[in-house]
Structure 1
Amino acid sequence: MRIVCVGGGPAGLYFAILAKRRYPQHEVTLSERNPAGATYGWGVVFWDDFLDGLYRNDPDSAREIRESAVLWEGQEVRMRGERTAYLGGYGFSMSRRGLLEILTRRARALGVDVQFEREIGDPAGLDADLIVACDGVNSGIRERHAEHFGAGVAVGRNKYIWLGTPKVFDSFVFGFEQTPAGWIWFHAYPSTTENSTCIVECTPETWSGLGLDELDPDKGTQVLEEIFAGPLDGHPLINQTRSMGVVPWLNFREISNRTWRRDNVVLMGDAAHTTHFTIGSGTKLAVQDAIGLADVLPLHAEDLPRALQNYDEQRRAALLAVQDAAHSSMTWFEHVDVHIDPHRDPDAVEFAYSLWKRRGHYPFWRYQLHLATQIGPLRRARSSVSSARRTLRARRRGELPVLHP
C-alpha cells in the first residue's frame, strides 16, 4: 500500500510511524509545507492516559517523549496577585518543537520518507492508495472539498495569543488580573526546564480597551508584561518563535465535519476537529486519531472503504464527550465576569472551584475536598497520593522497574 500523509504535525507523524512500524512493506510518505522544526506555539500538555497510549503503540518514541517532558504538580489560580487558590492534579508538558523533532526522527528511522517544504494542493494528483489529510486547522484538502466533508467553522469570542517566557513555572498557573478595561488572564505551564508557555486571553472589549488591537507586537507585549509583572516575577514575555516569526492575536476556530472521509482521503487531527486549548487535549486527540486509523486498517485489509468508514464513525463518536467539555470550557472563559461578583473583592477559592468544574458538574464531596486542600498539610497529603498514583502508572507502562515482594 502507498500511503501519503499531508501535514507534519503530531497526527501525521504518529500515523506514519504506526503505519511503517506495523506494516514495513508499505510505502509511507509524509509531506509538510513548512521547513523542518517550524511551528507556532511553545508547549503542549498531556497526562498519564496519553503516555499509556504511546507506550502501547511505540515504546521507543514514548520513552524519548517522557524523558523530554517536564512534570508539573498541582494547579494554581491567582487573582490580582493578592491571593492564590489551589487545585489538585499533575501533568506533563514539553516543547511542541521538541515533540515534532522526536516523532520526525522516529519516522525516518523506520523508513518513512519525510519531506519538508513540499506543498500539496490537490490530492487527486498523488499516486497513493490512502491519503491522510492532517494539514491543520486551515486544511487546504478539507477546504477544497468542504461541501462533501460538511465542514463547519465556529469562531470563538475571546482573543488569545501564544507567548513564551523564561519564567519557569512548576505548576499549571491561571493568572487573572483586573485592568481598567476589564479582566485579562493567562494559562501558563513549563515547556522545558528553561522556559514556559504563557497563553494570554481576554474578551474583545478588554483587548480593544487596552489598545492591543492597535499596538505593534513589541509594544503590545510590553503592556502584557506590565499587567502580569507580579505572577511573572518580572520576567519578560516572548512574542517570537525561531522559525515562524511574530505570533498574532487569534480567535479560536472550532472546526467540525459531518464526515472525515472522501474516497481514499481521510481527515485527521485539527483538519478534522479542534477542541478549545483550555482543556489541553489537542495533541492527545491527534495521536488518538492516528492510533484509531492504524488499528482499523488490518481489520479490513482488502476493503479500504470499509476501514475508512469504521475509522470515521468510531473516532467521531469518541470525540463527542470531549468536544462538549471543550465547548463548555470555552464558554466559561468567554464569560469570566459572570463568575466574579462585581460588588465585592473576588474570592479566589470560590472562583477557582468554578473554574475547576467548568466542564461539568461534580458531587458535593469535591467541593469539600477543594476547601480542605487550601490548607497546606492537607494539600501536601493530596499531592503525596497523586505521586503514588503517578509512580504506579509509570511502573505499569514500563518506565520504572516493577517491585517484587
Structure 2
Amino acid sequence: MKITIVGGGPGGLYFSILMKRQDPSHDITVYERNPEGATYGWGVTYWAGLLDKLRAGDPESAEAIAAASVTWTDGVAIVRDERTVHRGDAGFGIGRRRMLALLADRARELGVRVEHEHAVTGPGAPELADADLVVAADGVNSALREAHAHHFGTEVTSGRNPYVWLGTTKVFDSFSFAFKETEHGWIWCYAYGFSGEQSTCVVECGPETWSGLGLDRLNEADSLNLLEKLFSDLLDGEPLIGREQHGGGAPAQWLHFRTLTNRVWHHGNTALLGDAAHTTHYSIGAGTTLALEDALALAAALRDPSVPVGTALAAYGRRRRAELVSAQSAARYSAQWYENLPRYMRLEPARMFALLGQRHSPLLPHIPPQLYYRLDRAAEQLEPLRRLKRWLGPRVARAVHRG
C-alpha cells in the first residue's frame, strides 16, 4: 500500500514503524508541519504495561525508549506546607523531543520518509491524491477531521480550569504535587522528571484564582516569577522554564483542556489516530500511551491484506472506542476532582492525598470525603479476607466432594 501519515507525533511515527515491519514493501511517508525538534510539551509519562506492548510491536524502538527514560515509584504531595508520601507502582518519563527523535530515526531506518516543515492542509491536498491509506494523526485541531466533522460526529467540551505546561531544572525523583492556598483560592502543580536535567510542571487553578492572582494579565516572565515564589518549596529554588526559553516559539499559554470524541473514526480511506480521534485529561497522563495503542490497533486491523481497507478501518474504530471507555471515564472524573478541589482540602494532607489517588471513582463526588476515606480504608482491611475466601472456596468444595 501507499500510506500517507499526516502528523509526526508519537502515534503517527510508531504506526509507520509497525506497518514497515509488517510489510517492507509499503510506501510510507510521514508529513509533519513543524521543524524537526520543535514540539509542544516537555515530558511524556507512561507505565510499565506500555513497554510490554511496544516490545511486542517493535523491540528496537521499545528498548531505545526504555533506555532514554527515567523512572520513579513514589508520589509526593506538599499540601500548604506539609509533605506526605504515597508508595505506588513504577512510572516512567521521557522527553517528548527525545521520544520523537528516537521514533523518527527508527522509521527512517526501516525506509519511511519523514518530512518536516511540510503541512498538509486538508483532504484535497496533493500529498493525499494517490494514497491507499491516509492516517490523520494531526492532533486535536486536525484539518483532515474538521473537513468532515459532521461525518465523524466530532464533539468537543471545554474544561473549567485554566492550566499551563512548563519545565524546570529541578529534577524530580518522584511524581510530585504541590497545593497552595492563596487569598484568591487554591493553585496546584503536577511535576515529574523526564531526563537527568529537567522536569515537567503543569500548573492549574480555578478561574477565580487565575484572575485574582493576575495570571490572566501577566506576561510569561512575570507569570513564571510569581509561580516560582508560590511553589518555592517544591522547586527548591530552581527556576521554571517557559516555551520561549525552551525554543518553543510562542510564550507559554494558559489553556482550557478540550475533551474531544468522535462517533466514527474513519471516512473512506482516512483513519483518525491519537488526539485527532480522542483526548483525555492530562491529569491521568495517558495521552501518548493511548496514541501508541491506537497505532498498535490500527496496524493489527490492517495485518491481513485480503481484508478491504474500509472494513479494517471500521473494525479498528470499533475496537478502540470500546477500549477507551474506561480511560475516558477515569479522565472525566479526574478532571472533575480537580475542578472541585476545595471539597477535599479540609481533609488532613495524608487523607487528601489518599483521595487524590481515588479521583477516578464515580462514587467519590457523591459521598462526603471523610466518609469515603473511612469506607475505603475499611474495604482495604476486608480485602485480605476476600482473597482468603476466594482461595479457600475451591479447596473446601473439593474436600466436601471427596467426603
The answer to whether TM tops 0.5 is yes
Aligned residue in 2 for 1:222: 225
Residue identity opposite 2:187 in structure 1: I
Aligned residue in 2 for 1:43: 43
Percentage identity across paired residues of the two chains: 48
Aligned residue in 1 for 2:259: 254
Contact 1:42 1:96 in 2 (8 A): yes
1:177 equivalent in alignment to 2:160:
no
TM-score under structure 2 length normalisation:
0.88
Contact 2:162 2:255 in 1 (8 A): yes
Contact 1:40 1:247 in 2 (8 A): no
DSSP 3-state at the match of 1:84 = strand
Contact 1:39 1:244 in 2 (8 A): no
Displacement, 1:86?
2.2
Q: Rg: which structure is higher?
A: 2
* TM-superposition CA deviations, 1:368-398 (whole Å, max 9, x none): 7999xxxxxxxxxxxxxxxxxxxxxxxxxxx
CA distance in 2, matches of 1:232, 1:316: 39
CA distance in 1, matches of 2:120, 2:329: 33
CA distance in 1, matches of 2:260, 2:343: 26
Contact 2:48 2:90 in 1 (8 A): no
1:356 equivalent in alignment to 2:366:
no
Residue identity opposite 1:140 in structure 2: A
Structure 2 gaps, min length 5: 364-371, 382-403
CA distance in 1, matches of 2:333, 2:305: 37
Residue identity opposite 2:221 in structure 1: D
CA distance in 2, matches of 1:156, 1:8: 27
Aligned residue in 1 for 2:385: none
Displacement, 1:21?
1.3
Contact 1:75 1:89 in 2 (8 A): no
Contact 1:46 1:91 in 2 (8 A): yes
Displacement, 1:134?
0.4
1:186 equivalent in alignment to 2:196:
no
DSSP 3-state at the match of 1:37 = coil
DSSP 3-state at the match of 2:279 = coil
Aligned residue in 2 for 1:6: 6
| Aligned ranges 1:282-361 → 2 under 5 Å | 282-299=287-304, 301-341=306-346, 346-360=347-361
Residue identity opposite 2:100 in structure 1: L
DSSP 3-state at the match of 2:233 = coil
Q: 1:66 to 1:229 in 2, by over 3 A?
A: same
CA distance in 2, matches of 1:316, 1:364: 35
TM-score under structure 1 length normalisation:
0.88
Displacement, 1:84?
1.9
* TM-superposition CA deviations, 1:102-158 (whole Å, max 9, x none): 000000000001000111112234120000000001111111111111111100111
CA distance in 1, matches of 2:296, 2:279: 17
Displacement, 1:367?
3.0
Aligned residue in 2 for 1:83: 83
| Aligned ranges 1:265-276 → 2 under 5 Å | 265-276=270-281
| Aligned ranges 1:232-247 → 2 under 5 Å | 232-240=235-243, 241-247=246-252
CA distance in 1, matches of 2:373, 2:353: 16
DSSP 3-state at the match of 2:187 = strand
Displacement, 1:87?
4.0
* TM-superposition CA deviations, 1:229-282 (whole Å, max 9, x none): 111111110012324342211110101111010000010000000001110111
| Aligned ranges 1:110-259 → 2 under 5 Å | 110-124=110-124, 125=126, 126=128, 127-240=130-243, 241-259=246-264
DSSP 3-state at the match of 1:39 = coil
Q: 1:333 to 1:15 in 2, by over 3 A?
A: same
Structure 1 gaps, min length 5: 372-405
CA distance in 1, matches of 2:301, 2:314: 9
CA distance in 2, matches of 1:244, 1:306: 42
Displacement, 1:90?
2.1
Displacement, 1:19?
0.6
Number of residue pairs the alignment of both structures matches: 367
Residue identity opposite 2:255 in structure 1: L
CA distance in 2, matches of 1:197, 1:88: 19
